[in-house]
Amino acid sequence: MKMSIADLRKEYTKGSLSEKDLEQNPFKQFEKWFEEAKAAGIEEPNAMTLATATKDAKPSIRTVLLKGVDERGFVFYTNYESRKGRELAENPNAALCFHWQPLERQVSIMGMVEKVSREESEAYFRSRPLTSRYGAWASHQSEVIAGKAELLKRAAEMALKYPTGDVPCPPFWGGYRLLPDEIQFWQGQPSRLHDRFRYLKQPDGTWKIDRLSP
């Protein structure tokens, strides 16, 4: 007999999280968990779900890659004319979620998004593989295309145009930084009594930590 989706269950037993384990600064806590995710051999530990919404609060969601983090926030890059770019132009509120399943951990991040400086975008663009730089020009992200051949043709045209690899950063491409005002750390626990802590940014720039019911 086939098992129904509702019957799929897993007991979480990989670890726990208590107040004494937490860094007072959520960025330091994130760095600690991120390094542990890398050490655990998790493939693409920088993969994160990004949720955006239109000005009318119609949401959309996708996976992007974290490309930088510091005390200012979490950085990712994309086409500014993509669906997420258009939504962020209308509504700068966004959320991120990291799910490190082998460690039974999640990190959720909420806040406002702003574009990084043009200098930051150009510096990162130059660090990308050459084929990815051609691809950034070739892809009119989120737009309908007739077929894969159309995309490959545009990429080939860019390779002919810039044979030495000196590809400029497209004006429609660059980075965003999510400036968090709330960060949650979740550690799976037996019987669904998970450990969940919320950092809320205070008016003076400090962070208030609360344990939340799972």
Catalytic machinery residues: 192
What residues contact residue 21 under an 8 Å CB cut-off, 6+ apart?
none
196 backbone dihedrals φ, ψ, rounded to 5°? -145, 120
The continuous run of DSSP H or E covering 103 comes out as: none
Strand pairing class (173-187; 73-79)? antiparallel
The continuous run of DSSP H or E covering 92 comes out as: none
Interatomic CA distance for residues 95 and 109, integer angstroms: 5
Instruction: Please give the DSSP secondary-structure letter assigned to residue 30.
Output: H
Compute CA distances 68 → 47, 76, 134, 175, whole Å: 12, 7, 22, 10
